[in-house]
């Protein structure tokens, strides 16, 4: 029996956050890499779909890889690699562009909203932003992926990936596994500490509401202690009416494995809740930060992980992408 294949992608556009950790990375490290054949990829090509600073993308890519290892992904258990190191992604993305319709791409909400915003300012988005769902489909389909861990924001893109897989298989013969999205319900959705209506890390302007994985303890305390809470004196867990307090309770519960409603009963002031939450986050992130520092001091090790990861990923993707090339009618080398 072949093991379930999982693909997880992180974009090196921003620093990784507490929301990334509690929403995905922790589970990748604790569960997914052990139960499945898992690939975790820093999708650097996707970082070029928006205005970017080359030095920053380079820095954030390296940091993302190092953080994936620091949170506990073990290269003996899973494959950690950088997308641009494996040419199969772009090779297959072209075939995905030949499978998708332009209307289908233009319907993607993420593209429409961004394009709209840019147009309102008299600018435009990069063509690669429009076609990025084809690249994402290639990322996933190249590996015969069964499961993809995606946040709500990516659900539409994964639906498109599934459509493209089915269509390609119908047109050219069985080539791709049709992947399913896993949006684990029990995973904590961490909201911005300053704006608990938005997911943490989704509004770049709000630095004070975002805890980054590499934040110093003092910075974490400052951000958590400065979190907006709601009107009303008592601590109750009510996501709709008291989103600020509920977010703190969710974070505290996610750190310590507790239940947010039960935790609410233990507090009679926001101050005490914030203080405990801040300390819980500091302790949660401490080993990650320490491990990250060790890895930064050992660049040769990180390089070797990337080399091995790229080699393994290439080996997994190559046969399927070659088969897809033959399937659409391209002449084999011979
Ligand atoms: N497009 C995703 C994002 O914007 C990142 C991503 C790229 C991805 N390829 C992927 C996620 C493959 C899951 C699987 O966040």
**Residues 277-334 pLDDT 10s:** 999 999 999 999 999 999 999 999 999 999 999 999 999 999 999 999 999 999 998 7
Against a cut of 0.85, is the pTM above it?
yes
Domain limits, the chain: 5-188+299-328, 217-293
Alpha helices per DSSP H over the chain? 18-20, 26-27, 33-35, 54-70, 88-97, 102-106, 109-120, 127-141, 155-172, 217-225, 243-256, 260-265, 270-296, 299-327
Q: Give distance in angstroms: CA of 227 to centre of ligand 1.
A: 29
At residue 204, the pLDDT reads: 61
For the chain, residues with pLDDT lower than 50 are: none
Atom of ligand 1 nearest to the CA of 157: 1
Q: Give distance in angstroms: CA of 275 to centre of ligand 1.
A: 35
Whether ligand 1 lies within 6 angstroms of the CB of 89 is answered as no
Neighbours of 329 (CB within 10 A): 7
**37-42 and 79-82 as β-strands: parallel, antiparallel, unpaired?**
parallel
Residue to mutate, 60, 135, 139, 179, ligand 1, most ligand atoms under 8 Å from C-beta: 139
Question: Which residues on neighbouring strands pair with residue 42, listed in sequence order?
Answer: 10, 82
Domain 217-293 has CATH 1.10.760.10: no
Fold type of domain 5-188+299-328: Rossmann fold (3.40.50)
Residue to mutate, 9, 149, 158, ligand 1, most ligand atoms under 8 Å from C-beta: 9
At residue 186, the pLDDT reads: 63
Q: Output the CA torsion sign for 106, 107, 108, 110.
A: positive
At residue 120, the pLDDT reads: 96
**79-82 and 180-182 as β-strands: parallel, antiparallel, unpaired?**
unpaired
Whether ligand 1 lies within 6 angstroms of the CB of 11 is answered as yes
Neighbours of 332 (CB within 10 A): 7
Residue 128: strand, helix, or coil: helix
Whether ligand 1 lies within 6 angstroms of the CB of 264 is answered as no
């Amino acid at each position: 029996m072949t093991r379930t294949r999982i693909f997880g992608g992180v974009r090196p556009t921003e620093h990784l956050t507490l929301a990334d950790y509690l929403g995905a990375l922790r589970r990748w490290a604790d569960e997914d890499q052990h139960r499945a054949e898992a690939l975790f990829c820093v999708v650097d090509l996707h970082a070029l779909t928006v205005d970017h600073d080359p030095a920053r993308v380079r820095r954030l890519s390296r940091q993302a890889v190092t953080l994936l290892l620091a949170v506990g992904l073990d290269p003996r258990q899973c494959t950690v690699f950088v997308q641009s190191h494996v040419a199969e992604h772009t090779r297959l993305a072209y075939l995905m562009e030949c499978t998708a319709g332009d209307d289908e791409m233009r319907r993607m909400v993420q593209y429409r909203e961004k394009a709209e915003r840019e147009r309102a300012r008299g600018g435009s988005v990069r063509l690669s932003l429009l076609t990025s769902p084809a690249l994402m489909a290639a990322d996933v389909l190249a590996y015969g992926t069964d499961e993809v861990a995606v946040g709500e924001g990516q659900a539409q893109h994964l639906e498109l990936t599934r459509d493209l897989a089915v269509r390609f298989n119908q047109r050219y013969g069985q080539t791709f596994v049709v992947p399913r999205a896993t949006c684990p319900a029990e995973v904590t959705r961490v909201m911005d500490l300053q704006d608990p209506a938005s997911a943490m890390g989704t509004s770049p302007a709000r630095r004070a509401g975002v805890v980054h994985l590499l934040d110093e303890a003092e910075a974490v305390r400052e951000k958590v202690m400065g979190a907006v809470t709601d009107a009303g004196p008592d601590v109750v867990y009510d996501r709709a009416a008291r989103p600020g307090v509920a977010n703190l309770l969710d974070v505290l519960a996610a750190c310590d494995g507790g239940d947010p409603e039960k935790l609410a009963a233990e507090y009679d002031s926001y101050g005490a809740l914030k203080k405990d939450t801040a300390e819980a986050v500091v302790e949660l992130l401490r080993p990650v930060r320490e491990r990250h520092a060790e890895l930064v001091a050992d660049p040769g090790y990180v390089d070797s992980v990337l080399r091995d990861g790229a080699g393994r990923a290439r080996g997994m993707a190559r046969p399927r992408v070659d088969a897809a090339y033959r399937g659409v009618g391209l002449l084999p080398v011979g």
